[in-house]
Amino acid sequence: MIWRARLAETLDTGVRRAATTICAGPGWGKTALAASWAAARSMSGPVAWLTAGAQHNQPYAFWSDLILALRTAGAIPSGLPFPDAGPRNGDEPAFRREFGAAVTGLTTPVAVVLDDLHEITDPRVLNGLGGMLGHLAERMRFVLITRREPALPLHRLRAAGDLTEIHAGDLAFRADEAAALLAGRGRGRSPEALAALVRRTEGWAAGLRLAADSTDPAAADEDVEEYLLREVLPGQDDEVRRFLLRTSIPDRICAELADAITGGHDGRRMLEELTRANLFVKRSGDGRWYRYHPLFRSALRRRAALRWPEAPRRLHLAAAHWYEKNGNALAAITHAAAGEDWELTARIVVRRGLPLFVSADLAQFVGVLRRIPPEMLPATAELAVCAVLLAYARGDLVGVQRRITAARAMLAGRGDIARSEIGAALSVLESAAVIRWQGDMPYLHQAATDLLTELAGLTWDQSPALLQYRAMTLNQKAAAMLWSGRFDHADRYLWAAATAARTADVPYFEINSYALLSQLAVFQGSLREAAEHVATARGIARRIDAEGRAAIGPAYLAEALIESERGREPEAEEALRRALRALGELPEAAQAMMAGLVRVRLTLDRGEVSGARALLTQLRAEAGPLLIAPQVDRLFDLAAAEIRLAMGDPHAVLSRYAGRSPLSAAEQLCLARAHLATGDLGIAEILLARVRDGADRISAVGAWIFTALTADAQGRSSVASDALGHALAAAEPERIRRPFHRFDAQRVLVLAERQQWLTELRGAAGDGVLAEITGELPLVSAAAQSGPLSEREVDVLQYLPTVLTAAEIAENLGISVNTVKAHMRSIYRKLGAARRREAVIQARQSGLL
């Protein structure tokens, strides 16, 4: 016996009211629970126990044995007038009045346990017992142990709050209880094995016990099967037995599926009756579906296979047809494969299965496809489509095109509907798995455009996956436009693809559409919009557990660029790592190049110009001849131009962009920097003016910074101050930081320190752009506070007269930048300073510096 305190407490609470039911199927430990509780409770009050049998369907036998149980438990004190036996000759009403009057004379409340109450079906006994429930609660409380809810007026007690109910879910052994059970029988297991056993048995006591007593898993399964079939099936009529055996084929069952499998019309009634009878059947999900306990289902399946060797295949195929008709592609394909009808399997794959390849069910879907005998794959065009999917799953991307070509060759002689349906599936696969992966964006754009035209000519009856195909193809066309540099068209198609994917329930393409929108926003210089799209993509991915799938990889790359522009290098590095993990070992070409360009950017930001140049050279060599993506080429050129400017070679940039038009804002900024470096201020100013007035906020910040630097070099201090003010104002909403550190940081620092004398304090946040550049941490109140500086604060104070930023001070001291900022705030408070410059003055006057 395993003492389970949580259930004992429930029984203790229950016997303070009229009745408690322990209702579950066989082997759930109902009797064991009540027995262990009764043994522990017997010292605090009498517990009468009556185990019902078939003989108790006679009123005389039932009431006589109940009276005997009460006397045996010591519940009836000597001298109390009490009936000696049950009613005879149909005199039940008079007996119940006499019995009830006698019970009111009991000096102590008694708990009456009626075990196996399901054995009693006689209305006379049940009506008599039901009439006493609640009316005798002051002195007699019932614990009713039964396999099914008895025909008693329990609804009244339930409504009045006088009924406590314990069901199979409550009786199920938890992990710690299962561990105690197995340990008590000398069968301890590792935590992993124990967890697997509890999941498989769902805490069913008999299953755990049988597993504990067997060292051979196969023998344990046989013992469980024998127990279940002997305890459950013999008590059922032939109709119920046949229904159970046939409907055990699927993992879940509903009334309509049950009728389709059995050929009957009363599936709903049967399932509801089986559930009420606690025959290891329970509702699942929204209530329409039911499922059998996994061990019971396995036992039924084995018995069905032995009794009707040919039936399982037929039943699987019936389930496959029903699931396909009702739109559950994975279940339909799984049952078709289980029925070993490979042509049906392939037909369902073509009609409904492709969206599964970009879903959370990918692994299960591919596992089913691998069951198709290899020699069958060249047999039909539909099976050849399965071969294409298997090749893609293996990573044999080179062989995918060859198999697509072979599948198309098999369409000769097929009807128009078959050619359209299979051809559409092959075109969807080719655009996603071949063309986009290789990176030929003009070809992808044309292929997607042609496919959308082809899909427009199909109906849902001809292609049940039509909505999914359209959403997938819109995503392909949008990607082609993005990497072709056609941003306005890409924006419209990406929104259309995201909406279509949500409507068609292909969330991976919705995720990817938002991920590409985030990259588009970065290219257009809008960090806030890009961050919103990243958050949307990650939110959808989180809901479907797809945060590590390739679809969201572009969003992580966009996030890396966002963090880079915001000056948060560690966060950018982490986002890049997430992107590389998500994109996998064989990413599509454009995103692989994008990931490499992010690495180049981060390397250049660390001041490693030679390393960035070497990475870019290596990346160009890896691009391959099949990659045709104008936007990738422009990003390559832009990275090369930034590297050349960092190396002091502006003429290479002038040569690169000579005669090229139109130029993006980022390209115009690079060209303006090159003209500034060569002394051509007139052309540089024209270019900077265009960028300053443009929609690209990142480039606009850079243009204002260079305008300020140019004006300062010419001695026009007011113009420089005004320009830097514009840069700060443009940077703050988007939290842009990178240009202030990348573009002549020392001169920018001088301008910023001058600017802070002209800038009003706006609060104590201290996280603005100006504060980060100068290392200032402004405070609203500068009232001095008493207390000496700590040793570490003195260390930080020594750096305040320098031009080092908080991050650089942190690096020198070997502590985090947040710690440095905290020390600086403390120094300001103690010295009564509002700014870094004031703190330095106060420290010198106090002799601290």
188 pLDDT tier (thresholds 50, 70, 90):
confident
CB 177 within 8 A of CB 209: no
Of residues 831 and 547, more confidently modeled: 547
Least-confidence region, from 274-288, 327-341, 419-433 = 274-288
How many CB atoms are located within 10 Å of the residue 578 CB? 20
Mean pLDDT to the nearest integer, 13-38: 93
Pairing between β-strand 253-254 and β-strand 289-292 as defined by DSSP bridges: antiparallel
Higher-confidence residue of 806 and 662: namely 662
According to the model, what pLDDT value does residue 759 have?
Answer: 56
Give the pLDDT of residue 375: 94
Shortest CA distance to 325 belongs to which of 351, 356, 354?
A: 351
* pLDDT at residue 287 tops 90: no
Burial of 191 (0-12, 13-18, 19+ CB in 10 A): exposed
Average pLDDT value over all residues in the chain: 89
What pLDDT is stored for residue 80 in this prediction? 85
Class of residue 819 by CB neighbours under 10 A (exposed 0-12, middle 13-18, buried 19+): middle
Locate 274 and state its tokens. Answer: 């089986």
pLDDT bin (cut points 50, 70, 90) of residue 84 is confident
Tell me: the pLDDT tens digits for 751-767? 887 776 655 444 333 44
Q: CA Rg, the chain, in Å?
A: 39
pLDDT above 70 covers a percentage of the chain that reads 96
How confident is the model at residue 1, as a pLDDT? Answer: 78
* Two structure tokens written together for 755: 């600017």
pLDDT for residue 782 = 45
Mean pLDDT of 434-450: 95
Whole-number pLDDT of residue 751 = 82
Any idea which of 187-191, 331-335, 388-392, 449-453 has the lowest mean pLDDT? 187-191
Contact 352, 329 (CB under 8 A): yes
Is pLDDT larger for residue 472 or for residue 825?
472
Quote the CA–CA distance of 540 and 544 in Å, as a whole number: 7
Question: In the structure, what pLDDT confidence band is assigned to residue 777 with cuts at 50, 70 and 90?
Answer: low
pLDDT at 632 over 80: yes
- Choice between 463 and 438, residue whose per-residue pLDDT is larger: 438
Q: Identify the weakest region by mean pLDDT among 172-176, 463-467, 473-477, 637-641.
A: 463-467
Structure confidence at residue 764 (pLDDT): 39
> How confident is the model over 599-610, as a mean pLDDT?
94
pLDDT at 774: 67
Mean pLDDT value across residues 309-337: 94
Residue with tokens 């966060």: 571
- What pLDDT band is residue 131 in, cutting at 50, 70 and 90? confident
- For the purposes of burial, counting CB atoms within 10 Å of the CB of 269, is it exposed (0-12), middle (13-18) or buried (19 or more)? exposed
User: In this predicted model, what pLDDT tens digit does every residue of 149-166 receive, in sequence order?
Assistant: 999 999 999 999 999 999
Q: How is residue 91 annotated by DSSP?
A: -
For residue 476, what pLDDT is reported?
Answer: 97
**Residue 138 reports pLDDT greater than 90:** no
* pLDDT at residue number 757: 60
- Provide mean pLDDT across the span 536-554: 94
Judged by average pLDDT, the poorest of 533-542, 660-669, 805-814 is 805-814
pLDDT band at 784 (very low <50, low <70, confident <90, very high): low
Structural contact between residues 504 and 474, judged by C-beta atoms closer than 8 angstroms? no
Spell out the long-range contacts of 37-44 with Cβ–Cβ below 8 A and sequence spacing 24 or more.
37/7, 37/8, 37/11, 37/12, 38/111, 38/113, 40/3, 40/8, 41/11, 41/12, 41/111
Residue 183 pLDDT class (50, 70, 90 cuts) = confident
> What pLDDT does residue 765 have?
38
Residue 541: pLDDT over 90: yes
Query: Between helices 92-103 and 123-132, what is the axis angle to 10°?
Result: 30
**199-213, 274-288, 775-789: segment of lowest average pLDDT:** 775-789
Determine the pLDDT at residue 776: 59
Inter-CA distances, 355 with 383, 425, 551, Å: 17, 10, 13
Helix axes 589-605, 553-565, angle to 10 degrees: 20
Structure-model confidence comparison of residues 512 and 802, the more confident one: 512
**Helical segments of 568-608, H only:** 569-583, 589-605
Q: What pLDDT, on a 0 to 100 scale, did the predictor assign at position 236?
A: 84
Q: Is the pLDDT of residue 265 over 50?
A: yes
pLDDT the model gives residue 780: 41
pLDDT category of residue 477 using cuts at 50, 70 and 90: very high
Structure tokens at 594: 């994008």
166 φ/ψ angles, rounded to the nearest 5 degrees: -120, 125
The pLDDT of residue 37 is 93
Q: Report in angstroms the alpha-carbon separations of 284 from 232, 322, 355, 467, 678.
A: 21, 19, 25, 29, 74
* pTM, 2 dp: 0.75
Range with the lowest mean pLDDT among 229-233, 254-258, 657-661, 674-678?
Answer: 229-233
Domains of the chain: 5-171 (3.40.50.300), 649-756 (1.25.40), 769-845 (1.10.10.10)
Q: 3-class DSSP state for residue 585?
A: coil
Q: What is the rounded distance in angstroms from the CA atom of residue 541 to the CA atom of residue 560?
A: 18
Q: What is the pLDDT at residue 483?
A: 97
3-state class percentages of the chain: helix first, strand second, coil last, to nearest 5: 65, 5, 30
Residue 783 has pLDDT above 60, yes or no: no
